Chains A and B, each alone.
Chain A
Amino acid sequence: MSVAMLVFFACGVMAVLGAIGLILAREPVHSALSLVLVMVALAVLYLLLGAAFIAAIQILVYAGAVMVLFIFVIMLLNAGVEVRTNLSRLARWVGIPLAIVFLVEMAYAMSREYGARTAMAAGGAAAGPVPASTQALSMKLFTEFVLPFELTSILILIAILGALVLAKKEA
């Protein structure tokens, strides 16, 4: 087994464990930390795919900014330990079937993709990961996808204004 494989499995297990911990932890800070673990493991997986820029941005934005704010708010409000309840009726009748459907769907898609990859490898055209350079990424982002990009920034601006309006009412 190569070193890359080892790292891949370690990070995969870490991501899954983090996701489970996020749901099962009763202390809000522990849940938030588990989510950070998922983000960092995902970033390492991106690095393995040769997408260093995406990996760095993943950590910088999600782990370094969004989750820090989460933890900050949890600390500030001193959120207490969650109270465990039995499964609500909605979760039992909608949530569990949806989860099963989603799992089956994912398993199907992955097996099909795996079949296609092996067929391609047998045909000689191995699909290696394409290294995503920062330059190529920004070229795409600011030419082809400039409209969604600008719309997102307007969305964020609206969110900031909304936060300001809400804070004004309090004072």
Chain B
Amino acid sequence: MDFVTQHPVLVVSLIKIAIALFVVMTALAYLTWFERKVVARIQSRWGPYWVGPHGLLQPLADGIKFLFKEDVIPPAADKVTYLLAPFLALALALTTLALIPIGPATISILGQPTQLVISHSPVGLILLFAISSIGVYGVALAGWSSNSKYPLLGGLRSSAQMISYEVSLTLSVVGVLLIAGSLDFYNIVGGQSGHWWHFLPKWHVFPQFLGFICYLTAAIAETNRVPFDLPEAETELVAGFHTEYSSFKFAMFFMAEYGNMITVSCLATLLFLGGWLSPFPETGAWRWQLYLPAAGLIIGGIALIIGGLRSVQWNAKAVFPVLGIICIGVGYLCTWQSVMPVIQGPFWFIAKVFFLLFFYVWARGTLPRFRYDQLMAFGWKFLLPLALINLVGTSLVEVLRLPR
């Protein structure tokens, strides 16, 4: 215990990192399941169904499969760089999450008061952009080091795409910074509290709608997702930059992609959608909103029990009611006076991030892929001017609003 008392901040940070890593890894795994289910629903299919009830164990099965596949390293590959690339991609994708706060509450771990964020920095936003900007190395190096045609072309494409869209992504956020006047996530979200005309929340998405659209588009391109997934266009490039990767190294690229999706969704939530703030006013008449997390969990639990009992799959009959009872139990826990205020922030934050992730999947199920020249023209000739117009307009309004 000596070490704990001597370095309380370090130990608490390590505990928080362990919890966050566990939660994020599980979320990553089930995001793939969620995506396959939603895309299947859009295309009138069932999606994963047979591994576990409703395919719920599919991510686990995929993980085991990746672990036991043969790990092929091409003989012509540049060994060190080839091995470095997937680690770089995944590590950077997960590191960015350390800067994202999920709630305003202060909790106590080992008697040490601490915030709901791993690393609170006064320049959090720029640090986050800095870390995610070196994420492109994973993709570029994977393409180069494989020493093969398709990965090289895929790596080149994706580097060019990520460099191009990073400009629009960063510029679209500057408008929010001008209004918030801070690079600290806590200040940025704090500035979005309150309501216009008593009903419209003061989220930045309303005055910065143009910026929000720019951000969302650039973010989809930045994470190499449909309709901007040119780096891995199957019909042209086999699988793009990760063609030569197999086994768990391929899985690491896969996880990095989903990790980046979560990061940009969290960032959009913090910057534009009011972060952990509830959309309802905080006045006395709206006190019932404090029970929303508990109500959601309990209703979800009841639905799970009923759905499980009516299912034709025998394992769903066994597993879903148990999950439902756990849900109801956690929901009851959320009504405790000590837990309720802490749970509000994370509840709204996760709900908004979830909505954005659904939007991502929805876009993938709906939109066709761009052609490469269309992609470049769209980024430089449409998105960048739009972001610039938004920036100039916002600065003008902010200058006019300054007290003289």
Q: What residues of chain A have their CB less than 8 Å away from a CB belonging to chain B?
A: 3, 27, 29-30, 33, 36, 40, 43, 52-53, 55-57, 59-60, 63-65, 68-69, 71-72, 75-76, 133-134
Contact = CB atoms under 8 A, between A and B. Distances in A.
Interface in B111-157: 121-123, 126-127, 129-131, 133-134, 136-137, 140-141, 143-145, 152, 155-156
Contact of B126 (A29, A60, A63): A60
A36 B137 CA distance: 10
Given A53-B183, A75-B144, 10 more contacts: A30-B81, A33-B141, A60-B126, A64-B136, A64-B166, A65-B133, A68-B159, A71-B141, A72-B156, A72-B163
A30 B137 CA distance: 12
Contacts of B140: 68, 71-72, 75
Report whether over half of chain B's contact residues are helix, strand or loop; otherwise say mixed.
Answer: helix
11 contacts: A29-B145, A30-B80, A33-B137, A43-B130, A52-B127, A56-B130, A64-B136, A68-B133, A68-B134, A71-B144, A75-B159
Contacts, number: 83
A36 B134 CA distance: 9
8 tightest CB-CB pairs across the interface, nearest first? Answer: A64-B133, A59-B130, A56-B126, A60-B130, A56-B130, A56-B127, A52-B123, A72-B159
Nearest to A53: B123
A122 B67 CA distance: 59
A69 B122 CA distance: 29
B78 interface: yes
B133 A60 contact: yes
A67 B5 CA distance: 42
A36 B92 CA distance: 14
A29 B126 CA distance: 27
Contacts of B318: none
Nearest to B170: A60
